[in-house]
Amino acid sequence: MSASVHLVNRPPPATILQATATRSRLLFLIETPWMHPTIPAHRVALLTTRPTGTLLIHEIYRSLQGESSYAGLPCVFVRLSVCDLRCKWCDTPHAFGQGTPMDPAAIREQVLAFDCPLVEFTGGEPLLQPEIHPLMRQLLNDGKTVLLETSGAHDLTPVDPRVHLIMDLKCPDSGEVARNRWENLPLLKPSDEIKFVIASRVDFDWMIATVREHQLAERCSLLASAVFGSVTPLQLANWLLESGEQKIRMQLQLHKYIWDPQARGV
Ligand code: SF4
């Protein structure tokens, strides 16, 4: 463990702890993302069982990044448990109902042990657990490149601007198009990415219309990926070429071609 880790973990004086605890309780009431009235309580109930200050983690592992402009690079994945959405094609439903409460310091230690420059927080929905923000900041300060995959349904305001966002815009066939938080669009940086997951021609046409209406190509990078088993890579490639759009990058979910598409932890 490095000297800086030791310093970060040194307990603060009792008076500061007390003030911090009071502030934390207030922030919990104000900021807890799952308290939003549109979020079905039963989908996020598991989060209420974790001890204060911990994150509910489904798995931490190292693999190749399968998507985004970082595809192909070794990456440590921190998969957080629980999601408030239910995309019809979701490939991580196993993260909905299981998890281990972990102290942020222990997560950081496990991530650093991989000695990998790239770290991705994914889920589930990472932004349901606000404790993720100081952890991401610490890893950025450790010199890591931090990616955050999010559904696009939650406020991006608290995210450190050094984090590289990969935000979904949910297409109609996901069943969750109503959850797109359009107020997030102005918060995206040129280095961030918007991902569309395409399950049908309807989704593809919606993506093109959305990109044009919101001039998304001028805002950040755009990714289109096909739902494995619903739209073939060839179909998506042909649709993209026919559309005339020049700035939507097609991507394949690399890990599903390398390993078994149902495999976990890859
Ligand atoms: S947002 Fe992601 S984790 Fe949540 S249901 Fe959709 S695909 Fe699954």
Ligand 1 centroid – CA 86 distance (Å): 6
- 85, HSE (Cβ side, Cα atoms, 13 Å): 29
pLDDT, tens digit (0-9, with 9 covering 90-100), for 149-190: 999 999 999 999 999 999 999 999 999 999 999 999 999 999
Residue nearest to atom 1 of ligand 1 (CA): 151
Residue nearest to atom 3 of ligand 1 (CA): 124
pLDDT of residue 257: 76
CATH number of 3-258: 3.20.20.70
pLDDT at 263 over 90: no
Ligand 1 centroid – CA 223 distance (Å): 17
Is 87's C-beta closer than 6 angstroms to any atom of ligand 1?
yes
Q: Tell which atom from ligand 1 comes closest to the C-alpha of 89.
A: 7
Give the mean pLDDT of the chain. 87
Rounded distance between C-alpha atoms, residue 150 and residue 103, angstroms:
21
pLDDT at 96 over 70: yes
pLDDT of residue 4: 28
Residue nearest to atom 5 of ligand 1 (CA): 86
Is 125's C-beta closer than 6 angstroms to any atom of ligand 1?
yes
Give the number of other CB atoms < 10 A from CB of residue 109.
14
The residue to mutate among 92, 148, 149, having the most atoms of ligand 1 within 8 angstroms of its beta carbon, is: 92
Q: Tell which atom from ligand 1 comes closest to the C-alpha of 93.
A: 8
pLDDT of residue 258: 78
Range list of β-strands (E), the chain: 55-64, 74-80, 100-102, 118-122, 145-150, 164-168, 193-198, 221-226, 248-251
pLDDT at 10 over 60: no
What's the rounded mean pLDDT across residues 204-211? 98
Has 90 been labeled as part of a binding site?
yes
pLDDT of residue 28: 41
Pairing of strands 118-122, 74-80: parallel
**CB contact at 8 A, 207 and 198:** yes
pLDDT of residue 35: 54
Rounded distance between C-alpha atoms, residue 225 and residue 236, angstroms:
8
Give the number of other CB atoms < 10 A from CB of residue 195.
21
Q: Which is it for the CA torsion 2, 81, 132, 52, positive or negative?
A: negative
The residue to mutate among 151, 168, 170, 184, having the most atoms of ligand 1 within 8 angstroms of its beta carbon, is: 151
pLDDT of residue 39: 78
pLDDT, tens digit (0-9, with 9 covering 90-100), for 118-146: 999 999 999 999 999 999 999 999 999 99
Helices (H) and strands (E) in the chain, counts: 8, 9
pLDDT of residue 34: 52
Confidence of residue 264 (pLDDT cuts 50, 70, 90): low
pLDDT of residue 228: 87
Is 165's C-beta closer than 6 angstroms to any atom of ligand 1?
no
Which residue in 206, 223, 159, 214 sits closest to 186, CA to CA?
A: 214
pLDDT, tens digit (0-9, with 9 covering 90-100), for 21-39: 334 333 443 345 555 556 7
pLDDT, tens digit (0-9, with 9 covering 90-100), for 213-231: 999 999 999 999 999 889 9
